Amino acid sequence: MAPCLDKGSAADNTANVSQRPTHRQLQRFLVARNRSSARSGVSFVAMNSDYWKRPFFSALVIVIFFFTHAIAGAQANSSIPRTPHQIIDSFARQIQRIGASSPSSNGFGRAESAARDELKQLVSRDPFANELVRKTPAGMTPLMLAAYYGFPEFARELLMSPRVKDSINEEGQNRATAWMLAIYGLQLNRWSCDPTVLNDPFMWVPLFESLAYYQSRHGQNSYELTRVILEEAGAEPNLDGAKAAWNRVCPRSDQDLQERIRIGTDLPKVLREDSQTRFIKFSQQLEQKQAHRIESTPAEITLPKKFNTDGFKLPNDISVKPPGDKLGAAVSKLSGWWVGQNFLLPVRMLLIFEEFKSDGECVLLFATSENGNRPSIWRRVAVKLDSDAPTFQVTSTINISIRSVQRDTLIADVAVDQGRGTPHMEFERVIP
C-alpha cells in the first residue's frame, strides 16, 4: 500500500513510493507470515536458512503467495449474485427452452419460483440497491424489463424496494415507461411491432415456443396483471405517452396500425386484435406451403429403391452395408437412405446410414439440397448410437436428435445454429 502523502514533504513521499522493499524487510514480512500460518498447520522454511539468500527462491515464494490470494479472490467472485437484469433475461430464455422441450405449467412454475426467490434476496440486500434501478445501455431498468416480458411476479418483487417504487415512472431510451411496456405486450404482439420477424424462422420459432408460458397461466393475462401491479404501486397510466412512444419502440410497425393506435381509446385491445389477425394469416400461409410441398414432392421419393437426387451433391463412393442380426432391431431400423423436409427449413435433408460397427459406432452420410444461392453440402461423420434417442453433430452448426423410428418413418429434431430453433422433422426411408 502506498504511504499517505504529507503535504509538507511531497518530494520525500515521492521517493518513498518509488522505493522497493529491502531484502531484510521482505524477510521480516515472511517471518510474520510464518507465525500466523503455523497456527493453521502451514509452515515455511526456516528464516535463517541459506535459501532466503537466493533470489530465485525468494521470488518463488512471492509468486506462490500472490497466486494463492488470486485463487481465493476468484473463488469469492464466483459466489457473486447475478444482477436483476441477468435473472430476468435468463428466465426469459429458460421459458423458451421449456416451451420447446416439454411445456407444462409445473415446469414453468418451478423455474419462475426459483428466479423469484433469487430476485427477492437481491431486493432485501442494501448493497445491491443500485442494481435494482440501474439502466442498461438500451435504457432498461429491471422493472422495465419485467414489464417488457410480462413477468408480474418479478415486478411485484422489485416494487418491494423503495428505490424501485420511487423510480416507477422512469423513462427508457425511447421515452417508454414500465407501464407503457406492459401495455404493449411485446412478447405476445411482436409481429405487430415488427412484421418482418415472421419472415425469419430463427426469430419467430423462439417466440412461438415462449407462448406456452403465457398460455399456462390458467386464463390470467400476464401483461394485464403486470399493468395492475404497476398502477397499484403508483405508476402513471399515460395513454397519450404510450401512443407517442409506440412509433419509437416499434418503428417497423405498419402505418395502418400506427393510425389505429393514434385514434383508438383501448390500446391493448387494438394491439391484441392486430396481433391475432396477423397470427391467423401467418398460420394459414404455413399450412398452404406445407400442403403445396406435399403435393409437389416427386413421386420417386415415395417409391422403394427410387430416389430423386436432384439438388443433392453426393460422393461417388456411397456404400450401404447391412447392420447384421447381432446389433439388434433398434439399430437395424436405421439402415438405409432417409429424406426429410420441414416447412421451417428451406432445404431437404438426407441421412444415409452406411455402416454399423459392433461398438455402437455408425458411419453416417449427411447432405442438404441446394436452394437458390445456398449450395448443396455433404458430410461423412462417425456417430455413436449408444441410446434409443441418440443425438449427434453432423456439421459445425447442425445437430440431429432422433426421437423415434417406426417402419419407414424417422422422427427427429434438427437444431440449427447452436440450438436456435429445433424444428420437428419427419424423414422417410426411400432406399432400404
String of DSSP letters for 123-161: HT-GGGHHHHHPPPTT---HHHHHHHHT-HHHHHHHTTS
Dihedrals phi, psi of 115, to nearest 5 degrees: -70, -40
Instruction: For residue 347, give the C-alpha cell.
Output: 432445404
Tell me the residue type at 395. T
pLDDT mean across residues, the chain: 75
Lowest mean pLDDT among 92-101, 235-244, 267-276: 92-101
CA atoms within 13 A on the CB side of 64: 8
**Helix H or strand E encompassing 403:** strand 398-406
Inter-CA distances, 364 with 318, 354, 410, Å: 10, 6, 15
User: 246 falls in which pLDDT band (50, 70, 90)?
Assistant: very high
With pLDDT > 90 as the criterion, what percentage of the chain qualifies? 30
Task: Please tell me the predicted confidence (pLDDT) of residue 294.
Answer: 43
Please state, in angstroms and rounded to a whole number, the distance separating the CA atoms of residues 415 and 379: 16
CB-based contact 30:61 (threshold 8 Å): yes
- Among 201, 107, 188, CA closest to 424: 201
CB-based contact 209:100 (threshold 8 Å): yes
Please state, in angstroms and rounded to a whole number, the distance separating the CA atoms of residues 298 and 282: 26
Please state, in angstroms and rounded to a whole number, the distance separating the CA atoms of residues 200 and 360: 38
Task: Please tell me the predicted confidence (pLDDT) of residue 1.
Answer: 40
Q: Is the pLDDT of residue 295 over 60?
A: no
Please give the distance of CA 148 from its chain centroid, rounded to a whole number. 17
SS3 state at 341:
strand
Q: Is the pLDDT of residue 343 over 80?
A: no
336 φ/ψ sector (left φ>0, alpha ψ -120 to 50, else beta):
left
The angle formed by the CA atoms of residues 330, 334 and 339, to the nearest 5 degrees, is 150
Q: Is the pLDDT of residue 166 over 90?
A: yes
Q: Is the pLDDT of residue 62 over 70?
A: no
User: 405 falls in which pLDDT band (50, 70, 90)?
Assistant: confident
Inter-CA distances, 383 with 243, 357, 366, 390, 395, Å: 55, 10, 11, 9, 12
**Helix H or strand E encompassing 230:** helix 222-232
**pTM of the entire structure?**
0.54
Please state, in angstroms and rounded to a whole number, the distance separating the CA atoms of residues 30 and 11: 30
User: 308 falls in which pLDDT band (50, 70, 90)?
Assistant: low
The angle formed by the CA atoms of residues 231, 234 and 236, to the nearest 5 degrees, is 70
- Among 175, 124, 169, 172, CA closest to 145: 172
- What's the fold here for domain 300-431? Lipocalin (2.40.128)
Inter-CA distances, 411 with 169, 304, 414, 427, Å: 50, 19, 10, 6
Q: Is the pLDDT of residue 296 over 50?
A: no
User: 327 falls in which pLDDT band (50, 70, 90)?
Assistant: low
User: 215 falls in which pLDDT band (50, 70, 90)?
Assistant: confident
With pLDDT > 70 as the criterion, what percentage of the chain qualifies? 66
Please state, in angstroms and rounded to a whole number, the distance separating the CA atoms of residues 110 and 112: 5
Comparing 32 with 43, the larger pLDDT belongs to 32
**Residue range(s) in the chain whose domain bears CATH number 2.40.128:** 300-431
**Helix H or strand E encompassing 415:** strand 409-416
Inter-CA distances, 209 with 102, 189, 203, 224, Å: 10, 14, 11, 21
Instruction: Read off the pLDDT of each residue in 192-205 and give the average, rounded to a whole number.
Output: 85
Q: Which of 37-51, 172-186, 278-292, 357-371 has the highest mean pLDDT?
A: 172-186
Please state, in angstroms and rounded to a whole number, the distance separating the CA atoms of residues 332 and 423: 25
CB-based contact 268:224 (threshold 8 Å): yes
Lowest mean pLDDT among 83-92, 242-251, 299-308: 299-308
Task: Please tell me the predicted confidence (pLDDT) of residue 415.
Answer: 74
Instruction: Read off the pLDDT of each residue in 228-257 and give the average, rounded to a whole number.
Output: 94
Q: Is the pLDDT of residue 291 over 90?
A: no
- Among 206, 83, 96, CA closest to 145: 83
